[in-house]
């Protein structure tokens, strides 16, 4: 293998698996790949909980455009259990804001593309990513790791089509234009969140217009009464809402719905992409934000301060790997060994209050709680021996007090 993973006959392709969304870009690609490479195209669509997709329609469209075979894979459970729940246990918020919802779906999509490519004996995988984003990194690194012999086709890097030329191409090739062709937004959806880019959002000073959102009600129009939810966690994973036990997919779907009603999970930030560009990103992630808020709170109740402090470093590193397309790096699993160990005891119930766009923890309980009422209380029954405080404070501050004295003597600190 060469570093680039390509041999001399790099251009010859027999059969290509295309990650197909049914949208304009990948529909044009379905045709373009057949034309350019004179090869068979197998289309693959993963259901990771996109709300707006009709998977039967996508399949029909793929065949209409000449796909030799089409696969629709329902990967919702796999996505939630193997990707989103790991992100939850790592309290993953990239740059403290973004719950890496699109990021974590990419390695799963790439894995399925490789699986189908192997099954179909395909020699290439194609996807619709541009050269400016993070997604190409996530796809390409994962594919290269799992199947170094498979070629990667990224039509956007080669075909040089403006938006208008692409529409022209579609018309010429009988590719139906999607109903939302006039939408200025680029959307990516899965159960962990909805990403919205482009159009008016490219002006970072412009408030996201209401039509950018689809899952959440504007907070100011949300119900005037707050809604309380009790979320039960076992080993860091949610298992029940208000005492109703359900599987993780159902929990996430339910929280997306209820959170959406209360306008929870709208995010807007300036994000540092891996390719070096700063971009303005808008998201709707009700379930992810509710669960991360609750999970993080419960962790604080059951872990020592040393665990929490160290875990925040580990979590940040995990999040960075997930965002940066390095899901396959062994460091992710190494970090997860620690994250999972800590999460063994993240058991209990967190009560959250949803109100006009906010999610607030208002109660928590756990059989692993390190909160000790008798230590914490200011009532008479306290078991905390306050006399010990004097010696403790003396020793605790010793190095800092000493340093201050020396600096003052040397004139580096003001004598007050």
- Which residues are known catalytic residues? 25, 106, 135, 186
26, 34, 103, 136: which one binds ligand ARG (CB under 6 A): 103
* Complex with ligand ARG: residue 187 or 249, whichever CB lies closer: 187
Task: Return all residues near 210 (Cβ < 8 A) that are at least 6 apart.
Answer: 218
* Complex with ligand ARG: residue 37 or 318, whichever CB lies closer: 318
Across 186-327, where does the E strand assignment appear? 186-190, 193-197, 227-234, 237-241, 244-245, 266-272, 278-284
Binders of ligand ARG among 129-148, rule CB under 6 A?
A: 134-135
What SS3 state is found at 45?
A: strand
What is the helix (H) or strand (E) element at residue 151, kind and residue range? strand 151-153
Across 344-416, where does the E strand assignment appear? 348-355, 358-365
Nearest to 296 by CA among 367, 352, 255: 352
* Complex with ligand ARG: residue 114 or 282, whichever CB lies closer: 282
Task: Return all residues near 178 (Cβ < 8 A) that are at least 6 apart.
Answer: 22, 23, 24
Q: How many CA atoms lie within 13 A of 214 on its CB side?
A: 14
**Smallest distance from ligand ARG to CB 269, Å:** 10
**Smallest distance from ligand ARG to CB 132, Å:** 11
* Complex with ligand ARG: residue 40 or 197, whichever CB lies closer: 197
Stretch that binds ligand ARG, among 13-21, 34-42, 183-191, 311-319 (CB under 6 A): 183-191
Interaction mask 191-210, ligand ARG, x per CB under 6 A: ----x-x-------------
188 binds ligand ARG (CB under 6 A): yes
**Smallest distance from ligand ARG to CB 143, Å:** 17
Interaction mask 53-92, ligand ARG, x per CB under 6 A: ----------------------------------------
* Site size with ligand ARG, rule: CB under 6 A: 11
Binders of ligand ARG among 391-410, rule CB under 6 A?
A: none
**Smallest distance from ligand ARG to CB 167, Å:** 18
Order of strands, edge to edge, in the sheet holding 15-19? 69-74, 40-47, 15-19, 124-126, 151-153
Tokens coding 283: 């998201």
**Smallest distance from ligand ARG to CB 185, Å:** 8
Stretch that binds ligand ARG, among 173-181, 186-194, 328-336, 339-347 (CB under 6 A): 186-194
Q: What residues form DSSP beta bridges with 196?
A: 187, 282
**Smallest distance from ligand ARG to CB 102, Å:** 4
Task: Return all residues near 187 (Cβ < 8 A) that are at least 6 apart.
Answer: 52, 194, 195, 196, 197, 214
CB–CB of 352/228 below 8 Å? yes
* Complex with ligand ARG: residue 161 or 240, whichever CB lies closer: 161
CB–CB of 236/297 below 8 Å? no
Distance of alpha carbon 221 from alpha carbon 118, whole angstroms: 50
* Complex with ligand ARG: residue 23 or 348, whichever CB lies closer: 23
Binders of ligand ARG among 151-180, rule CB under 6 A?
A: none
**Smallest distance from ligand ARG to CB 247, Å:** 26
**Smallest distance from ligand ARG to CB 229, Å:** 27
Distance of alpha carbon 92 from alpha carbon 98, whole angstroms: 8
* Complex with ligand ARG: residue 231 or 328, whichever CB lies closer: 328
What is the helix (H) or strand (E) element at residue 406, kind and residue range? helix 388-409
Stretch that binds ligand ARG, among 48-56, 181-189, 331-339, 401-409 (CB under 6 A): 181-189
Angstrom distances, CA of residue 37 to CA of 48, 69, 130, 168, 206: 30, 17, 20, 21, 43
* Complex with ligand ARG: residue 46 or 150, whichever CB lies closer: 46
40, 59, 253, 271: which one binds ligand ARG (CB under 6 A): 271
Tokens coding 293: 């808020």
Q: Could you say which DSSP state residue 384 is in?
A: -
Interaction mask 281-320, ligand ARG, x per CB under 6 A: x---------------------------------------
**Positions in the binding site for ligand ARG (CB under 6 A):** 102-103, 134-135, 186-188, 195, 197, 271, 281
């Amino acid at each position: 293998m060469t570093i680039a993973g390509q041999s001399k006959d790099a251009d010859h392709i027999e059969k290509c698996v295309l990650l197909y969304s049914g949208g304009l870009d990948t529909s044009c690609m379905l045709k373009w790949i057949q034309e350019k490479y004179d090869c068979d195209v197998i289309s693959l669509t993963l259901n990771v909980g996109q709300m707006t997709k009709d998977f039967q329609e996508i399949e029909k469209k793929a065949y209409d455009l000449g796909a030799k075979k089409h696969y629709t894979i329902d990967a919702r459970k796999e996505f939630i259990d193997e990707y989103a729940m790991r992100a939850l246990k790592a309290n993953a918020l990239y740059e403290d804001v973004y719950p890496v919802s699109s990021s974590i779906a990419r390695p799963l999509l790439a894995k399925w593309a490789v699986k189908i490519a192997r099954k179909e004996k395909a020699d290439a995988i194609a996807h619709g990513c541009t050269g400016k984003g993070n997604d190409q990194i996530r796809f390409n690194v994962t594919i290269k790791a799992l199947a170094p012999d498979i070629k990667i086709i990224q039509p956007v890097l080669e075909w040089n089509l403006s938006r208008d030329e692409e529409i022209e191409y579609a018309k010429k090739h009988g590719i139906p234009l999607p109903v939302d062709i006039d939408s200025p937004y680029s959307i990516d959806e899965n159960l962990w969140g909805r990403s919205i880019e482009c159009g008016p959002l490219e002006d970072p000073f412009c408030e996201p217009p209401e039509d950018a959102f689809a899952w959440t009600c504007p907070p100011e129009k949300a119900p005037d009464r707050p809604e309380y939810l009790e979320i039960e966690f076992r080993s860091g994973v949610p298992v029940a809402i208000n005492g109703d036990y359900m599987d993780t997919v159902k929990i996430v779907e339910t929280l997306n719905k209820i959170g959406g009603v209360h306008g929870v999970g709208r995010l807007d930030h300036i994000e540092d992409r891996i390719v070096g560009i700063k971009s303005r990103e808008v998201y709707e992630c009700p379930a992810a934000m509710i669960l991360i808020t609750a999970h993080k709170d419960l962790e604080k109740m059951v872990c020592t301060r040393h665990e929490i402090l160290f875990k925040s470093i580990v979590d940040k590193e995990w999040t960075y790997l997930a965002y940066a397309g390095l899901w396959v790096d062994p460091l992710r699993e190494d970090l997860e060994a620690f994250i999972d160990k800590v999460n063994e005891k993240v058991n209990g119930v967190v009560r959250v209050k949803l109100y006009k766009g906010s999610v607030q923890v208002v109660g928590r309980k756990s059989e692993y709680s390190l909160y000790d009422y008798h230590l914490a209380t200011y009532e008479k029954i306290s078991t905390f021996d306050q006399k010990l405080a004097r010696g403790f404070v003396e020793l605790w501050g010793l190095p800092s007090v000493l340093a201050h004295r020396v600096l003052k003597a040397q004139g580096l600190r003001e004598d007050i």
